[in-house]
Structure 1
Amino acid sequence: SRPVEVAARGYAFVVSFSKTLALHENALPFCFREVWVITACLGLIKSTSTQYDGGVVAIDSEKEFYRLQGDLYSLCRAKFMRLAYLIGYGVEIEKSPVNSASLSMLSWPKPATWPSIPPDSSAEVMAKEKTILQAKAREKLFDIQRKPLPLEPSSLLREANRRRAFLSVGNLSELYDSVDGSGLGAHSKLSPNKSSSNLMTRTMSGPATSETSLPVDRPMRLSEIHVAAEHALKQTISDPDFMTSLSSPEEFESRYMELTKGAADNYHRSWWKRHGVVLDGEIAAIFFKHGNYDLAAKSYEKVCALYSAEGWEELLADVLPDLAECQKILKDEAGYLASCVKLLSLESSLFSSKERQAFQSEVVRLAHSEMRHPVPLDVSSLITFAGNPAPPLELCDGDPGTLSVAVWSGFPDDITLESLSLRLSAFSSADEGLKRQ
């Protein structure tokens, strides 16, 4: 049980000392707190996992050990994503609910002064600028349009420029986020009635410094912030392997996958299996990105089953279209049809009318096509009915009778049914003590 105790105390120390570092962050190297937490977590994971042999140990202790390992991986993962976002890899991070929850509540670094751009870095700035301009969200099946979830607690553009205390803040308009997030073209967001002379400015009281290639009368663009942060991190990180994991989008994704899978696998072996399933969805997104649709579908199925069972319809609405797209690509007609029906049965406010009509079109198309492997389709969540108030009928076997029934459809548009069967179930009346049919 010694590794369990070390992991528990180690995790508590990392969290506690991280808070202490936060109090002195402006006197420490750039992102020292994040770098230290990542290094400490990885060190704890390695030392405790190698010492834990899974021998004679109580089941509770075993589950707790893997839960702590999962927590260490998760904490490390969140800090790693924050560093990656700072240097411009935000477009590589899936804007999922779990990532948004982790990063939108994780504060930006708080150096006394935000790092400056080193001389002769124009090529790097141009490369970052190109990445920002070319970034676009992946188009979802059915042309589903959803507002991207945030991955930052506040605008990095504003935060970084606010902390450039020794430089001029420049024109207020330049601090407004532009469409591409680069800080360019922001003048269009100001009222045309305001002239440049009315803009708030603050000038530097001292002479310009040679530490930066930027003029002192304007803020940094987002691409420049990324380059400055990357160069500053190279001075903070001493581990070559650590720095390599941030050297390119491919290296970042590889380490991101390693940390996510480590957290998921350990949670699956602990009491917190739900956490593992949720992180499986993040792994599925990477599989999907690289065309491994079979593996992605298997993970998405587990996530959708969890959200459906727990009634998290808004989360299900975010993941289920991805599962449906995998099933369509894999030509899994039965699974795809079931997913389309499930999408239609979700709360109507979660999708636009156009999107729901697209779901219905696919259901009708598949229902009327000759499927290679026909399957029964349960649409009980979309078509419901109930008897209208009427006098009771007293019938014997074989007697004809008429029942008035109201039918409700959950389909967004009219749909034609070739037949509708109604089955009557027996029930007992507590008042009369009779069994009715």
Structure 2
Amino acid sequence: MKISKPRGTRDFLPEETAHRRHVESIMRNVVTHWGYHEIITPTFEHLDLFTLKSGEGIIGEIYNFTDKGDRDLSLRPELTAPAMRMYVNGMQSRPLPLKLFYFENCFRYERPQKGRFREFWQFGVEVIGSKSPHADAEVIALAEKMVESAGIKGDIHVGHLGVIRHILQELDGEEQTRIMRFVDKKDDKGLDDYLESINATAELREQLFELVSISGENAIEKAREIVGSLPELDRFELLLDLLEGYGVDFSVDFGIARGLDYYTGMVFEIYAEGLGAQNQVCGGGSYQLIQLFGGGDVPSTGFGIGFDRIMEVCTLEPKPIPGVVVVATDDTRIEAIDIATKLREYVPVYLDIMERNFRNQLSHANNVEADYVVIVGKKEVEAGKVTLKEMASGEQGLTTLDEALELILR
């Protein structure tokens, strides 16, 4: 019986895996150089962790199950909630701020489509313990640097939910949530219909549509004309000044809502060309979640990068590493093991484990497109040397192992 992979999942062949690991290592290098430390959380968590954060409605979008102990569990659909749970469980006594990052697979039960899978990978960052615009600025600058490190020029949009929430303060929490989701989806008609259905005042409707349409230059001044002088706008203005200090290329966009209840202040998104309608590769903001999970009133700022979308448009390729095949005769296989072991300290080496004869070993080296063949025959063993063959040119010669390695690595 042939068994196929589950719908919405993927197999990564060796070449693609090497490509993904290469880009991952580059992005890891960036985030660690910014002073962030990696964390790893469980693949499955208690279901309550995600319903507390996102509501019962998320159950239809996730892989949840009851285990043999009759516990309600879920494969993680994202990593922010697990990171906050980890902080509450074991990191509250540590000095703040905490700068954390993760790179893990997540799972969502949704209809697979281009750029969206049921198993996907997320690269994320969380700064715990600072509500300063300096923390917000660093997070955005880091996100830009990580996306750029993958060879992608992102279009960064920055907004502030505190300003929108000021306009909506007369409405209840559920009404604000519904409005935020319409704004997030850019559904002006749906938003207008909903505002009418809840009898929102004409002033509120006018202010909201004016605010979410603000973008580009002089955005702060335009926002002040609508809502007046707000501390949130002052903080946002400082954030924008800091971003310019980081050299971040961004656009102000008060129409970003992120569509999630827990965001409280700054929000941002990064878009990339070549992905069609699903062109967002990164999103984040400042939020309050720790108190929800039993911790104190501790602010956080973070983002998530959709690694699979990054890989769709990333053209970076790993630097080629010379491939070496060690070829032996039946009576020199032990000596060939020693030669291969020494070479493996420096380069990838294939050594025959199929008991092929000498001629078929050479043929296999050609089939796997080896760059070099190191021949360990009887005459080589007696001379204490090896024969190095460069496959592209066909040139070969008797040499010491050290000399052969020097030629391979040149």
TM (norm. structure 1) is 0.27
Bigger proportion of residues as strand = 2
Bigger proportion of residues as helix = 1
